[in-house]
Structure 1
Amino acid sequence: MSTAPRAGTILIVDDNPVNRLLLGRGVEQQGHTIVFAEHGREALALLRERSFDLMLLDVVMPELDGYGVLAELKGDPHLRDIPVLMTSALDELDSVVKCIEMGAEDYLTKPINPVLLQARINASLEKKRLRDQQRELIGKFATEEVAEDLLTSGFSLGGKRTDVSALFCDIRSFTTLTEARDPAEVIELLNDYYTLMIDAISREGGIVNQIIGDGLMAIFGAPTPREDHHERAVVAARQMVELIRLFDDDQAAAGKPQIEIGVGVASGPVIAGYTGTLHRATYTCVGDTVNVAARLEAHTKIAGRPILIDENTRRALSDGIVVEPQGELLMKGKTEPINVFAVQVDSVFA
């Protein structure tokens, strides 16, 4: 049993007012919302201002013709999934082939048969619906940035060299905390903890790529490059610590256990990409920077400070973030010590 076709918002691009009127009337009678553009430049501006499900695009137009619009559309990762039906009085095979090769869904010659037009619109909207479902599904299992990277660049194992800030976070004395507690209470505590941590990280453009027990790893600066990834990582770390303090106030008032966290941040070159197999993979980064961040997080237990960062991160911070030198630290597996700094956290949300 077939389902009723989904109504959509359709952009009709044609420099001829009669063509716009005729096309618009027929499309509107199918239950769709229509918006008009008189030339290619206007169409691109509208596409970047609001969301459309489909575009009916004339080939021959002033300002920017249909070929030019298609080229810009398919070169923009945020617009290239919008289905395009070309409309033209040119019944030439070369024009048809060119448009299809450039990414158009179909090519309809004028005058357009209304039954054929309806069928093409319904088919294109269904493809758009399936692509939107795919994007939504990927987003359930990956961060928004990773999902966008997958949809725009595709999937392949391996990585590329880039500069990032890596962040590690862990709950202090978690094993001791959970020994005498019901597993359901522990799961509830972890869910609350991760909700707060992921919110702070995401707010600053980071992605959480690993969650193991009570610990997590986050990346700032990949897959979406950010010049200010150093500061974003530290700002996120400060928010994380302050959120836990506020969370503990509520926990104490309810007679529930409180927690403390330690956060380590290091910045520098890594290899970022997908690792695993063709059947199961994750987006991550590897390199000495990652190892330093993990060691700094572990060292917070010894230093008694909630956030520790390395020299590379400190050098890129603005004056508004106060740090205190903690001296040199020789980490396991390294031949040279690194300078360590503690970040002040007071009144993050003041």
Structure 2
Amino acid sequence: MTPSYKERFENLLRVVKKVTSSLDPGDILEVIRDEAKVTVPYAKEACLLMFDPEAKYYTRPLHCSLSKERINCQLCKKGGEHIQKALKDPVAFECAPQSSASAGPICEVAFPIWDGGGKPLAVLDVISDDKNGFHPKDIVLLKDLTDLATNAILNARRHWKLSQERLTLDSILKHIRPFVPDTVNRILEKDPFTPVLDKKEADVSVLFLDVASYTKISERLTREKVNFVLEKYFSSFLDEINHHGGDINETAGDGLMAIFQGQESENGLNACKAALHIRERTLEINRELEGRFQPVHVNMGINSGIAYLGMTRFQGETGTRMTFTASGPVTNLAARIASAAKRGDILIGPETARRVEGEIPLFDRGLMKFKNVKDKVKVYSLVGPGPRKNT
């Protein structure tokens, strides 16, 4: 007697309701295993034997659902003749006599579960009690259950693989993120699929920072000590730049470039405040390291105006390299102004001075001539007259 479509539907519906109540692959596979005994009420034992070598990653070990007097040994069953036969036949079925003369035959049915590529994922193995064998109805219902188990296992594997890919991607991003400017991180978080990274005109203030006499420092100290000194100072610089809304987009050993975006009335002031606080932190660290290291002088230059902001692409035969930066005359002049600063000075261009006048004291340094700049430029300092020593 074969089951009606209604019976098959109701049996699967009962299982599906339980399966869909959990997202845990282990729970789902245990439900399917247990439902094999519910489907065949007189079944003595039901096992979902996992052959997928990756099963240990997406589900916990599955014990057999069986009577307490039988041995629960998945390894023993996997190597059994009947299970091995099931891996060759669509459905393996046999009734074998028990050793006891008074007992009836043990009937065992095994359904292989494949991955679609011919590799075994699992075997659903069910053993009847001593008095009842398996009826055609049982075979059909268990086959339906096997089909459901196949989808459940394949979905569990896909979910695990996607989770692994996500973990791998997150790990990669975790290591890459410190190398990427915060502005780029924010753009990608806002729209990771179609980020707008093309260059566009934007009002910015650009700050260049340089550690004076870096060559002498590197010659005088060991590599380990040079690295310690730079990390000590630059870590504090990073905090101040971030605190004032800046974004470090380039570093080069003894220097860095930071971009301050925002309203014209704000970015220049933020850049100047960051520079002044960097100077204060430099003085503090010089005092902290006094007697161990020579004091460090940090020179800075700031310029404001319209720059070309976005990703610069360098495309060669071996690949593409991209860097987020602000380019154009405003940036070039900021770099020139920074190169003119000596012994811990902070020099700013005329546009930056205009924006912060009345907010921060300015000290006129007069007109300066810079390389590749046609006219002389009016330069101001944020550091007062007199000796400028970072001690």
Q: TM-score by structure 1 length?
A: 0.58
From 222, 225, 228, the equivalent of 1:188 is 228
Question: 1:55: which partner in 2?
Answer: none
Q: Which residue identity does 1:257 align to in structure 2?
A: Q
RMSD (Å) for aligned C-alpha atoms? 3.5
The 8 Å contact of residues 231 and 318 in structure 1, kept in 2 or not, is answered as no
Question: 1:237: which partner in 2?
Answer: 275
Question: 1:341: which partner in 2?
Answer: 380
Once the two structures are superposed, residues 60-102 of structure 1 have per-residue CA deviations (whole angstroms, 9 ceiling, x without a partner) of xxxxxxxxxxxxxxxxxxxxxxxxxxxxxxxxxxxxxxxxxxx
SS of equivalent residue, structure 1 residue 308:
strand
Structure-2 change in CA distance of 1:182 and 1:128 (3 Å)? closer
From 163, 182, 185, the equivalent of 1:144 is 182
The 8 Å contact of residues 328 and 340 in structure 1, kept in 2 or not, is answered as yes
Structure-2 change in CA distance of 1:280 and 1:345 (3 Å)? farther
Question: Offset at 1:131?
Answer: 6.8
From 342, 349, 354, the equivalent of 1:310 is 349
Identity of aligned residues (%): 26
SS of equivalent residue, structure 2 residue 320:
coil
Structure-2 change in CA distance of 1:232 and 1:345 (3 Å)? farther
Once the two structures are superposed, residues 240-295 of structure 1 have per-residue CA deviations (whole angstroms, 9 ceiling, x without a partner) of 1111000000111x432210111000001111223323532211121111111111
1-structure distance, mates of 2:259, 2:313: 15
From 205, 209, 220, the equivalent of 1:165 is 205
Question: 1:288: which partner in 2?
Answer: 329
SS of equivalent residue, structure 1 residue 321:
coil
From 300, 308, 325, the equivalent of 1:271 is 308
Question: 1:299: which partner in 2?
Answer: 340
The 8 Å contact of residues 156 and 274 in structure 1, kept in 2 or not, is answered as no
SS of equivalent residue, structure 1 residue 259:
coil
Structure-2 change in CA distance of 1:27 and 1:328 (3 Å)? farther
Q: Which residue identity does 2:312 align to in structure 1?
A: Y
Question: Offset at 1:206?
Answer: 1.1
Question: 1:259: which partner in 2?
Answer: 296
1-structure distance, mates of 2:177, 2:165: 18
SS of equivalent residue, structure 2 residue 325:
strand
Question: Offset at 1:28?
Answer: 10
Once the two structures are superposed, residues 194-243 of structure 1 have per-residue CA deviations (whole angstroms, 9 ceiling, x without a partner) of 2121121111121111111211111111xxx4541111111111111111
Matched, 1:321 2:368: no
2-structure distance, mates of 1:131, 1:305: 42
Question: 1:68: which partner in 2?
Answer: none
Structure-2 change in CA distance of 1:204 and 1:345 (3 Å)? farther
Once the two structures are superposed, residues 102-146 of structure 1 have per-residue CA deviations (whole angstroms, 9 ceiling, x without a partner) of xxxxxxxxxxxxx99x97999998887677556545423213322
Q: Which residue identity does 2:363 align to in structure 1?
A: E
Once the two structures are superposed, residues 148-203 of structure 1 have per-residue CA deviations (whole angstroms, 9 ceiling, x without a partner) of 22342646875111111111111112222332222221111111122121121111
Q: TM-score by structure 2 length?
A: 0.52
The 8 Å contact of residues 302 and 347 in structure 2, kept in 1 or not, is answered as yes
Q: Which residue identity does 2:360 align to in structure 1?
A: I
Gaps of 5+ in 1: 1-21, 31-114
2-structure distance, mates of 1:257, 1:182: 14
Structure-2 change in CA distance of 1:130 and 1:179 (3 Å)? closer
Question: 2:133: which partner in 1?
Answer: none
Structure-2 change in CA distance of 1:184 and 1:332 (3 Å)? same
Equivalenced residues, count? 238
Question: Offset at 1:340?
Answer: 0.8
Gaps of 5+ in 2: 1-16, 26-150, 386-391
1-structure distance, mates of 2:243, 2:379: 26
When Rg is computed on C-alpha atoms for both structures, the one with the higher figure is 2
SS of equivalent residue, structure 1 residue 279:
strand
SS of equivalent residue, structure 1 residue 298:
helix
Deviates more, 1:229-238 or 1:144-153: 144-153
2-structure distance, mates of 1:179, 1:29: 59
The 8 Å contact of residues 263 and 306 in structure 1, kept in 2 or not, is answered as yes
